[in-house]
Amino acid sequence: MTDAEDRKPKSDEVRSAFLPPAGTGVDGDMSTTSEFAIPDGLALRGAAGAESETTSEFAVPQGLDVHAAPAVEQEGSAFTPPSTYSSKHAPTAFTPPSGIPVVSLTKDVPWQDRMRTMLRMPVAERPAPEAIQRGGDESGPAVPRVLDLTLRIGELLLAGGEGAEDVEAAMFAVCRSYGLDRCEPNVTFTLLAISYQPSLVDDPVTASRTVRRRGTDYTRLAAVYQLVDDLSDDETAVSLEEAYRRLAEIRRNRHPYPGWALTGASGLLAGAASVLVGGDLIVFVAAALGAMLGDRLAWLCAGRGLPEFYQFTVAAMPPAAIGIALTLGHVDVKASAVITGGLFALLPGRALVAGVQDGLTGFYITASARLLEVMYFFVGIVAGVLLVLYFGVQLGARLNPDQALGASDDPVMMIGASMLLSLAFAVLLQQERSTVMWVTLNGGVAWVVYGAMHYVGDISPVASTAAAAGLVGLFGQLLSRYQFASALPYTTAAIGPLLPGSATYFGLLAIAQNEIDEGLVSLSKAVALAMAIAIGVNLGSEISRMFLRIGSAEKRRAAKRTRGF
């Protein structure tokens, strides 16, 4: 027998530890049972006659009542309210750990400042307006009609040259005046859009409008501002139909000045600008004739449907041609002053100020488009003047830039010329007659500050221009607050004497005489002066908004209550 067989136990000797001793089996039979076997005499409920079955550990025990699971909710839109949500019994809003910052909104400031402040706040933190019924309808006006009125008002403001932030503030004010507080206006260079969402669970309503035509008419701009001011006033109670009627009247109104007055204003502007750079009476007349001829040619091109680029190119040629003719005729006049005066009437100061303002307030797309428009206008002026100067130099005209460098020694005449320039500029901008006097005085103050800093204090022209433009923006904002109107009619014409006409001409003349380096330096100086004007105007306006609280309490105390806060 092998060792394996010796180690293998015999079958009759093998007993499991779980087997009972011999003779203790059921019915005397030997049986093998597990330790988990049910002992004899222990009866389990439901065990008799039941077959063993395998169940999950997550099975619900018997005797435990469980309600039936709810039916699966039908999948819907992202704006579909949940079945457990009720807008009338909404849960308490969650407050972040850092808290919600408290924004101080003064009730006596103009509506422009209030709307601008709320536009810079998140939608959830804006104060809700009071429910004011306009027109007698308890349900309020239709949302699409309110949005359409808002877009039409914004279109007139944007087409009139208003800044993007001020257009958004006006659109937001119109919506809030009719109880639409959860609205978001969006303004770009050619597109206006507005979206209104009643609540977080309602579908938003969005509308847009394209601005295709632009025209300078500050009288219409002031009328639109007056309409928005009346809509924002609680006591006027302008209904939606009345607002539509007044808006239609504003669009149908004619310009306050006829065409011949605009042509004469362009001549006066060019003549006054020529005096500022050292011209005499003959120069004044020559510059005025050149500017008026250029204005009529530009009107002729506009009537034929030519773009504004070619209009500026054609308008810049007559003043340059007259200056070249006087030089070739050996007339003892400052031909450079004639050409410089003609350029003053064409420089796009309004578009430049609006473009820089949009950039400083965060509207970079609109600012880029406006500045690109200014660049195209400037290139058109450069093309027209360079074309004439090139032919003049080829014909033997000797233009000396040093002739126009010396200003007049009579400060009274210089101040009078600057005020005349601002007056003519205001007429060209189609301003209301009531604002012409104020903007004329503002232009005189601007030149006094510039002359005192640059000619007397020997300060750089860029710093002097920036300081004078800042004072223009400050005074313009103060005057607009008293009148509850736009600040553009009080600032745009006042910066006319500060425009870099002479620096632009000297740069073009140097390029025409093949002195490229000197020409680029002079043009860079012109760009620096233009940026100083725009930044100064915007800075003066912001300072007045931050520190001065005037205009409302004295004039219309009861009518300027702010709703909701």
- Residues ≥6 apart with Cβ < 8 Å to 30: 22
Distance CA(476)–CA(492), nearest Å, equals 9
- Reported as a single tens digit per residue, the pLDDT across 207-263 is 999 988 777 788 888 889 889 888 887 777 788 889 999 999 988 877 788 888 888
How is 326-394 classified by DSSP, letter by letter? HHHTT-SS-HHHHHHHHHHTT--HHHHHHHHHHHHTT-HHHHHHHHHHHHHHHHHHHHHHHHHHHHHHH
Please give the C-alpha separations between residue 459 and each of 256, 276, 533, in angstroms, as whole numbers: 40, 18, 16
Task: Give the pair of three-digit tokens for residue 519.
Answer: 């020409």
**The pair of three-digit structure tokens given for residue 217, joined into one six-digit string:** 């008419």
Q: How far apart are CA 336 and CA 409, in angstroms?
A: 18
- Beta bridge partners, 208, equal 193
Contacts of 78 (CB under 8 A, 6+ apart): none
Distance CA 116, CA 94 (A): 26
Closest by alpha carbon to 546, among 481, 490, 459? 481
- The string of DSSP letters for 385-449 reads HHHHHHHHHHTT----GGGGSPPPS-HHHHHHHHHHHHHHHHHHTT--HHHHHHHHHHHHHHHHH
Under a CB-based contact definition with an 8 Å cutoff, are residues 156 and 118 in contact? no
Distance, CA of 313 to CA of 263 (rounded, Å):
17
The C-alpha atoms of residue 295 and residue 456 are separated, in whole angstroms, by 36
DSSP reduced 3-state for 561: coil
Burial class (CB in 10 A: 0-12, 13-18, 19+), 443: buried
The predicted pLDDT at position 484 comes to 64
Non-local CB neighbours of 291 within 8 Å, separated by 6+ positions: 266, 267, 269, 270, 271, 318, 319, 341, 342, 345
Q: How many CB atoms lie within 10 A of CB 331?
A: 11
Contacts of 341 (CB under 8 A, 6+ apart): 270, 271, 272, 273, 274, 275, 277, 279, 283, 284, 287, 288, 290, 291, 319, 501
Q: At what angle do helices 281-303 and 335-344 cross, to 10 degrees?
A: 40
* 109, 552 contact by CB (below 8 A): yes
Place of tokens 């031909």: 335
Closest listed residue to residue 105, CA positions, set 91, 121, 94, 90: 121
> What's the burial of 302, exposed, middle or buried (CB within 10 Å: 0-12/13-18/19+)?
middle
Walk along the chain (565 residues) and give the pLDDT tens digit of each residue: 545 555 545 445 444 444 455 444 444 455 555 666 666 766 555 544 445 555 666 666 676 665 555 555 555 555 555 565 565 665 555 555 555 555 555 555 666 666 766 666 666 566 665 555 554 455 556 888 999 999 999 999 988 888 888 898 899 889 888 888 788 899 988 899 999 888 777 788 899 999 887 777 888 888 898 898 888 877 777 888 899 999 999 888 777 888 888 889 999 998 888 888 777 888 889 989 999 999 999 989 988 888 888 999 999 899 888 888 888 887 777 777 888 888 777 877 777 777 877 887 788 888 898 888 888 888 888 888 888 888 887 777 766 554 544 556 778 888 888 899 999 988 988 888 888 888 899 889 888 998 888 888 888 888 888 889 888 888 888 887 776 677 788 888 888 888 776 677 677 777 766 778 878 888 888 888 888 888 888 787 777 767 665 444 444 433 333 333 2
Radius of gyration of the chain (CA): 41
- As given in the structure block, the two tokens for residue 50 are 């039941």
**33-42 pLDDT, tens per residue?**
566 666 676 6
- For residue 409 the two structure tokens come to 């020694």
Three-state DSSP class for 183? strand
For the beta sheet containing 191-196, the strands, ordered from the edge strand earlier in sequence to the opposite edge, are: 183-187, 191-196, 205-210
Residue 206 main-chain phi, psi, to 5 deg: -125, 140
Whether this prediction's pTM lies above 0.85 is answered by no
Q: How confident is the model at residue 69, as a pLDDT? A: 53
d(CA 529, CA 378): 14
332: phi then psi, degrees, rounded to nearest 5: -80, 75
Q: Which residues pair with 205 in a beta bridge?
A: 196
The DSSP string of 141-159 is S-HHHHHHHHHHHHHHHHH
pLDDT, position 292: 92
Q: Is the CA virtual torsion 394, 400, 405, 408 positive or negative?
A: negative
Which tokens hold the place of 553? 């309490």
